[in-house]
Amino acid sequence: MAAARVLLLSGRPESVSFAQSVCGLLGAGPGLGPWPTYCGLKRGELVLSDRPFPGASARLPLQQPRAPGAELPTNRGVDLAVAVVLQSSDQTVLLTRRTQTLNVSPNLWVPPGGHVEPDEELLDGGLRELWEESGLQLPQGQFSGVPLGLWESAYPPRLSWGLPKYHHIILYLLVISQESQQQLQARIQPNPREVSALMWLGPDVAAAVAATEDGTETPRHLPQDLPPSVLAVELEENGGARPLVLPTSTLLRTTPATADSKERVSTGTKFALRLWLQHLGRFSLFLHTLCFQVELG
C-alpha cells in the first residue's frame, strides 16, 4: 500500500525523515507532553508546524512515548496513519484486538485504522479502514467527525526490542455515530485477517485504562467500583464468534521491557482514550474521584 508522507512546514513543506523525531523538530521540550501542533489536514498528507500557517485547520495535541536514541535509516520518510475512535450514541467506543499473525503490533487492542492512501481525505481514509476491519459502513448524515490528536509511533516500541522498522504519525479521529452500541454491533463483520476480537469500552473503564502509565503494571490506585472484567467478542476459527470475558487487568498492562506479543492496550490508544474522555469532560472528573478515594484510604 502506498504511504502518504508527514510534512513539516518551515518555509515550504518538507518531508520528515524516518530517523527524525517529529516531536523534537516541532520544539517539544523534555516534559511529558503532549505539545500543541498546528495541522493542515490535506488529501493524503499531514502538514505540521509549531506556529499558525495559512491553511491550518486544526491545533491538536501531539505526543510520543519517548525520544529516539539510535542510528536509523535516513532515506525513508514518516508515514501517515489514521485511527477512528468510533463513539456510539450511548457513549461507548469500539476497540479491536489485532491478530497475532500481523507483523506490526500483534495482539494489541486499538481503534480501527491504518495507512492513508495518496490523495485520500483523512476522514474518508479512517472510514475506509473502519469498514475494512469491522465491516461497519456508517450511513451518511448519521455521524460527525472531529480530530482528537496526533501520536508519534515507532515499532518496535522500545529500543530494547530492536531498532524501529516503522515510523508513523497517527491521527486519531473521533467519529460520533447517532446509532447505539447495540445497533452498530448488529452490523459488525470483523475481518479475521486483521481482527481477532472486539469490544465496546465505556467511560469508566476507559478512564482507568487511560490512567495506566508505562513503567507500572497497574495504576497505584484504582476506582473501588472498577469491574473485574469486561465483555468482548472473540472470533472463532470457523468464522463464528463467541463471548469473551476479558479481565480488566489485561487492559491495564503496560509495554514490557522485552519483546513479546502479550495482549494489552497500546500506549497510543491510551492517549487517544484520554483525549476522548477530555472531549466528554470525564477524565478530569475521574482523576478528582481517584484522588478523593486515595485521601479517604
Dump pLDDT digits (tens) for 176-207.
Answer: 999 999 999 999 999 999 999 999 999 999 99
Check residue 183 and give its pLDDT. 97
Q: Which class does domain 74-148+159-292 fall in? A: alpha beta
Q: In sequence order, what DSSP letters do the residues of 127-163 get, joined into one string?
A: HHHHHHHH---PPTTSEEEEEEEEEEEEESSSGGG-S
The answer on pLDDT for 288 being more than 50 is no
For the chain, which residues make up each domain, given as ranges?
74-148+159-292
Check residue 1 and give its pLDDT. 37
Residue 90 CA to residue 204 CA, distance in Å, equals 13
Please give the C-alpha separations between residue 201 and each of 70, 152, 209, 246, in angstroms, as whole numbers.
Answer: 36, 24, 10, 12
Check residue 160 and give its pLDDT. 83
Percent of the chain surpassing pLDDT 90: 58
Sequence-separated (6 or more) residues with CB below 8 Å from residue 42: 55
Q: Are the C-beta atoms of 126 and 132 separated by less than 8 Å?
A: no
Residues 158-182, mean pLDDT to the nearest whole number: 92
- pLDDT tens-digit readout, 114-156: 998 888 899 999 999 999 999 999 999 999 999 999 999 988 8
The answer on pLDDT for 269 being more than 90 is yes
Q: Are the C-beta atoms of 9 and 54 separated by less than 8 Å?
A: no
* Angle in degrees, CA 223, 250, 128, rounded to 5: 105
Choose between 261 and 67: higher pLDDT. 261
The answer on pLDDT for 163 being more than 70 is yes
- pLDDT tens-digit readout, 62-118: 998 755 555 566 678 899 999 999 999 999 999 999 999 988 889 999 999 999 888
Q: Contacts by 30-35 with C-beta closer than 8 Å and gap 24+? A: 33/61, 33/62, 33/63, 33/64, 34/61, 34/62, 34/63, 34/149, 34/271, 35/61, 35/62, 35/63
Predicted TM-score (pTM) of this structure: 0.88
What is the average pLDDT value for the chain, to the nearest integer?
86
